[in-house]
Amino acid sequence: MTFKQGFYEFKQLMSLMKPHRKWYFTGLVGNSLTNASITILLSFVVHYLLNFAVNGDVQELYRAVYLVSGTFLALSLISPLCSYMYKRCVKLAIADVRMKLFGHIVKLSYEKAEKHHSGDLVSRMTNDVQALEQAYTVHIRSIILEISLFLGSLVILMVLDWRFGIMAVLLGLASAWINAHFAKKMRKTSEELQGRMSRFTERLSDLLSGLQTVKLFGLRTKVGGLCNDASEDINRISIRQGRHMGLQDMCNFVIEFITLGGVLVAGLILVSQKQMELGVLGQIVQLQTGISTVFLELGAAVTLLQNSLAGLARIREILDESKEEEQFPAAKKKGPLTRLIDPETAALSARESGGFYGDVETLRTDHAIEQTPAALELHDITFGYQPDHPTLQRLNLVVAEGQVTALVGPSGGGKSTVMKLLLGFYPPDEGVLRVRGRLAEEFPLDEVRDLMAYVPQEATLFHGTVADNIRFGSPAATDEEVEAAAKTAYASGFIGELPEGYDTIVGERGANLSGGQRQRIAIARALLKNAPILLLDEATSALDAESEYEVQQGLNELMKDRTTLVIAHRLSTIERADTICVLADGELKEQGTHDQLLAEGGHYAELYELQFRKHPEEQTA
């Protein structure tokens, strides 16, 4: 680590301590100086006591007693006070870091957040933050304490006998060289260790979230093995770290032993030749012992600080990632707006066809934007998760106001991707997205999301009560409003049968409820949000007949008087949709009403036949 890099990292460490820096340093320096001065003062006590022992001078004894009292006072009053002061600042700063990190993770763009395993983020919030706390409370304190002790002892040594002072400096240089060598190695292993801890948390979180599957498929050995591998990696690196520290300690001990031996021999020769008082030698030995432990401690502190700095780097990595923009994301590349929409043709086309523009080629004007009646429009949208692998290709789609538009098509065709783009999770690569006739990027992102209620396939419930989970739709809703939403969503029946009703804890991710019950809570939540546009990733395919019926009833209530874009996996649920759009390979293959599409005998008719050949009982005739 170069001095420049060290300075930069120290500045970063301190930037996270910013609002508490003044009191942190007052407490830290106060505590370190008090503790350093205790060791130095005690060397004087040794000096006076030895002089008293040799000369019988009572004044020397009194001096020693005064110093011991002063030391005791410092130890029992100033040191704890300063210690409380800086530790309080550390706790406050660490709480700030945790909140800052959490706030940043929540605001990360979906694209960025998706790149991290949740276990990795948890590890950064726990292990790395803990490592950072160690830097503030233990390692920096240790460095300040040991440096003050060294400087204080050196000045006194120089005054007592400059030759011993020089010896201390040489010892310092040798120790610094050895410890810098070990610190470099330690930094490398620390970075590795933090990375492996992260991987272990990832494996553990996979194991715990998929416990059911692990048990059912007998994956305990396989998935558990992955956890064990990660844990063994941690052990291996920790043992390597321990070996480095052991070697470092050994080198420091050898230096300490040689120096102390040298001081004792040289000092005793000087005392025997009456060139030095025994008291002075006692004090020099005491100071030299202190200096030797300085290097031992300083070496360990600098080495362990590498662990914290590796944690800091991982925390900064997250804090430096870009947050979600305030505005709805615009397309990365505008591209030539070749197929621009004239409002009247669009309105007519949307009304007549139930949403699909076809191949209208006109120019866009401001007037056009004002007049466009559709709730949502995707115009020439191209998008890919990976560059050069488009998931959607020049897609044109209109969700007409007040109508139900259904997206159907084979798995992987890009249906959910359309919803993700509409919710502003990703910017399209090319094309134009409009919301109620205006370019989506003209809206603040939150405003667009406020217009929409999204009910995903897998309802996300949070640990808390049933009421809490419904109230996420509108945090200010009263109990009566929550209950009314539950009733409309066909959820009040089962909620009434739960042991604590609306106050029942749903468990982690709603584990205490059935799939259908979780869905109906999500529907009640969307009802409470009362957004004009509904995005529905239909989930009834995973439910049994009874749950499906109830969830469908809830959904029907939710869709009343709302613009709806629904992804349908079971064609029976969207037969009455105003427009059905068939999406395959990221392209709109065909669109129309159920009857029109059946009559056309294209993709939809094929899908329909395929589905009802498998499930003839679903055919509505």
- 227 Cα distance to chain centroid: 21
Using CB under 6 A as the binding criterion, the count of chain residues that bind ligand ATP stands at 10
Q: Out of 57, 114, 600, 618, name the contact with ligand ATP by CB under 6 A.
A: 114
Residue 391 lies near ligand ATP (rule: CB under 6 A):
yes
Q: Which residues contact 542 (CB under 8 A, 6 or more apart)?
A: 457, 515
* CA dist list (Å): 260 to 50, 107, 190, 253, 282: 19, 57, 33, 10, 12
Region of 175-183, 209-217, 244-252, 411-419 interacting with ligand ATP (CB under 6 A): 411-419
CB of 412 to ligand ATP, least distance (A): 4
Please identify, using beta-carbon distances, which residue of 154 and 583 lies nearer to ligand ATP. 583
CB of 385 to ligand ATP, least distance (A): 3
Q: Which residue's CB is nearer to ligand ATP, number 51 or number 579?
A: 579
267, 390, 414, 424: which one contacts ligand ATP (CB under 6 A)? Answer: 414
**416 touching ligand ATP, by CB under 6 A:** yes
Residue with tokens 């704890």: 80
What are the start-end ranges of the E strands in 449-551?
Answer: 452-455, 533-537
- Is 113 or 264 the residue whose CB approaches ligand ATP more closely? 113
Q: What distance in Å separates the CA atoms of residue 63 and residue 568, rounded to the nearest whole number?
A: 91
Are 419 and 537 spatial neighbours (Cβ–Cβ below 8 Å)?
A: yes
Q: Measured from the CB of residue 478, what is the shortest distance to ligand ATP in angstroms? A: 36
315-344 residues near ligand ATP, rule: CB under 6 A: none
In this structure, what DSSP letter does residue 75 have? I
By CB under 6 A, residue 411 contacts ligand ATP: yes
Cβ proximity to ligand ATP: between 121 and 281 the closer is: 121
CB-wise, 115 or 334, nearer to ligand ATP? Answer: 115
Q: How far apart are CA 511 and CA 508, in angstroms?
A: 6
Tell the smallest beta-carbon distance from residue 413 to ligand ATP (Å): 4
> Which secondary structure element, helix H or strand E, spans residue 71, and what is its range?
helix 58-73
Question: Across the strands, what pairs with 430?
Answer: 333, 382
Find, among 599, 556, 547, 550, the residue nearest to 574 by Cα.
556
Q: What angle do CA 122, 326, 562 make, to 5 degrees?
A: 95
* Residue 387 is a binding residue for ligand ATP (CB under 6 A): no
Residue closer to ligand ATP, measured from CB, 277 or 587: 587
* Least spacing, CB of residue 447 vs ligand ATP, in Å: 25
Cβ burial of 518 (10 Å; 0-12, 13-18, 19+) is buried
Judged by beta carbon, residue 114 or residue 370, the one nearer ligand ATP is 114
Identify the bridge partners of residue 383 per DSSP, sorted by sequence position.
392
Alpha-carbon span 379 to 13, nearest angstrom = 48
Q: How far is the CB of 415 from ligand ATP (least distance, A)?
A: 4
CB of 416 to ligand ATP, least distance (A): 3
Contacts of 615 (CB under 8 A, 6+ apart): none
Can you give the C-alpha Rg of the chain in angstroms?
Answer: 36
For 569, half-sphere exposure in the C-beta direction (CA atoms, 13 angstrom radius) is 14
Nearer to ligand ATP, 114 or 479 (CB): 114
Residue 382 binds ligand ATP (CB under 6 A): no
Residues 567-606 that bind ligand ATP (CB under 6 A): none
Separation of first and last alpha carbons in the chain = 76
**DSSP secondary structure string, 532-589?**
SEEEEE--GGGS-HHHHHHHHHHHHHHHTTSEEEEE-SSGGGGTT-SEEEEEETTEEE
Point out which span in 80-88, 182-190, 409-417, 468-476 binds ligand ATP (CB under 6 A): 409-417
Q: How far is the CB of 324 from ligand ATP (least distance, A)?
A: 16
Stretch that binds ligand ATP, among 38-46, 197-205, 218-226, 410-418 (CB under 6 A): 410-418
Stretch that binds ligand ATP, among 72-80, 406-414, 476-484, 613-621 (CB under 6 A): 406-414
In angstroms, the CA 351 to CA 359 distance is 15
Establish if 413 lies at the interface with ligand ATP (CB under 6 A): yes
Q: Which of 35, 259, 417, 563 binds ligand ATP (CB under 6 A)?
A: 417
Measured at the CA of 500, the angle between CA 499 and CA 503, to 5 degrees, comes to: 145
Q: Is 231 in the site for ligand ATP (CB under 6 A)?
A: no
Binding positions for ligand ATP, 74-103, rule CB under 6 A: none
Question: How far is the C-alpha of 355 from the C-alpha of 343, rounded, in Å?
Answer: 13
* Nearer CB in complex with ligand ATP: 413/428: 413
Q: How far is the CB of 615 from ligand ATP (least distance, A)?
A: 17
Residue 584 identity (one-letter amino acid)? A
Residue placing its CB nearer to ligand ATP in the complex, 101 or 539: 539
For the four alpha carbons of 294, 299, 300 and 304, in that order, the dihedral sign comes to: positive
Under the criterion CB under 6 A, does residue 385 sit at the interface with ligand ATP? Answer: yes
- Pair of tokens at residue 410: 């084979």
Cβ closer to ligand ATP: 112 or 240? Answer: 112
Q: Shortest distance, CB of residue 411 to ligand ATP, whole angstroms?
A: 3
Instruction: Report the nearest approach of ligand ATP to the CB of residue 430 (Å).
Output: 17
The correct pick among 415, 434, 529, 562 for binding ligand ATP (CB under 6 A) is: 415
412 binds ligand ATP (CB under 6 A): yes
Q: Which is nearer to ligand ATP, 508 or 618 (CB)?
A: 618
Q: Which stretch binds ligand ATP (CB under 6 A): 126-134, 154-162, 414-422, 515-523?
A: 414-422
| Residues at the contact surface with ligand ATP, assessed by CB under 6 A | 114, 385, 391, 411-417
